[in-house]
Amino acid sequence: MDECPPITVRLAVDRTDMNLTAGENIGFYTPGQEVSSQTGFMRGHGTYVDEEETLRASVAGVLEKVNKLISVRPLKTRYQGEIGDVVVGRITELQQKRWKVDTNSKMDSVLLLSSVNLPGGELRRRSAEDEQTMRRYLQEGDLICAEVQSTFADGSLSLHTRVLKYGKLSQGIMLKVSPALIKRKKTHFHNLANGAILILGNNGYVWIGANTQEKDQSEGGFTQDLSRVALQDREICARLRNCILILAECNILLTDTSVTYAYEESMKYTPSELLQSEAIIDVALLTQQRLSQF
């Protein structure tokens, strides 16, 4: 159940966020292909000018044209964070006064000791004792939810978990999808009607958790829930996982609405049957049909 099997039918990608001018045709370009031989255009990301002053694509992607600025947006790329993004990440390394976090970007992100709420939730000065016991709070392999606080010149990100809704994650499933499939919304935390918790990270990491109990806010997100998850809750999480993989495989934007629709349309199948090509196509088409009605 690690990978979603390939299918032969693909749905159209949602292109509403490509900022193209009215009537502009969307073209797909491969590296080295000529984009424009005319002069007077500005070279944007994903393009370069050759010796003959011809504008060519440097990546495989779709054309974006804003006035005289021409760029090619790659279909598959690493996450490029922006301030305020909600991300799900994994602790990879413990350093002096900071943790290194894998956030699906080109470089590991940084979570400073001064950017977290220590157990108790209070904001206080971090002492040498806190630095010596950092592994007690977060250690290698732990999953966290955080917010992008700032960006560095090399493209790496600085995170924080000062808000109590952020912190360590446990008892759940993490999936990796393309960051382009995560639609930017006001909230990326969703308590679904089936009882599960869904976190859609802007970086393409999706977290599915069983809503067994409320997080202890007094601990600042460092408590570890080791309670046993009921079989019914595990089946819900497994079904959600397969539904999200179906949406990602068919290039449908991931929102709480699309995930809920896919979950409802999948009820005619068992969680394991959702890995079969027939079920994948059926659920994806029905979900896309319901989304197109709005």
Cβ neighbors of 228 (< 8 A, separation 6 or more) are: none
Give the per-residue pLDDT at 82: 87
pLDDT tens for each residue of the chain, 294 residues long = 444 444 444 444 343 333 333 334 457 888 888 888 777 788 888 899 888 888 899 888 888 888 888 888 887 778 888 899 999 999 999 998 899 999 999 899 999 988 888 776 555 667 788 788 888 888 899 999 999 999 988 888 999 998 888 989 888 899 999 998 888 888 999 999 988 999 999 999 999 988 655 554 445 555 556 567 788 889 999 999 999 999 999 989 999 999 999 999 999 999 999 999 999 999 999 999 999 986
Angle subtended by helix axes 277-291 and 231-249, to nearest 10: 80
| Burial per residue of 157-176, b for 16 or more beta-carbon CB atoms within 10 angstroms, e otherwise | bbbbbbeeebbbbebbbbbe
> Is residue 191 within 8 Å of 160, Cβ to Cβ?
no
pTM beyond 0.85: the answer is: no
Give the per-residue pLDDT at 245: 95
Give the per-residue pLDDT at 1: 42
With the C-alpha atoms ordered 265, 12, 254, 79, is the resulting torsion angle positive or negative?
A: positive
Give the per-residue pLDDT at 14: 41
Whole-angstrom CA distances from 62 to 26, 88, 97, 156 are 6, 27, 42, 25
In whole angstroms, what is the distance from residue 196 CA to residue 233 CA?
A: 8
| DSSP 8-class letter at 284 | H
Give the per-residue pLDDT at 227: 65
| DSSP 8-class letter at 191 | E
> Is residue 59 within 8 Å of 31, Cβ to Cβ?
yes
Could you give all domains of the chain from N- to C-terminal order, each with its CATH number? 1-75 (2.40.50.100)
The percent of the chain in helix, strand and coil, each rounded to the nearest 5, is: 20, 30, 50
Whole-angstrom CA distances from 68 to 39, 42, 121 are 10, 6, 50
- Taking alpha carbons only, the member of 252, 229, 236 closest to residue 193 is 236
Terminal alpha carbon distance of the chain: 33
Q: Burial level of 251, CB count in 10 A (0-12/13-18/19+)?
A: middle
In whole angstroms, what is the distance from residue 9 CA to residue 182 CA?
A: 21
Cβ neighbors of 160 (< 8 A, separation 6 or more) are: 111, 112, 115, 116, 146, 147, 149, 166
- Phi, psi values for residue 70, rounded to 5°: -115, 130
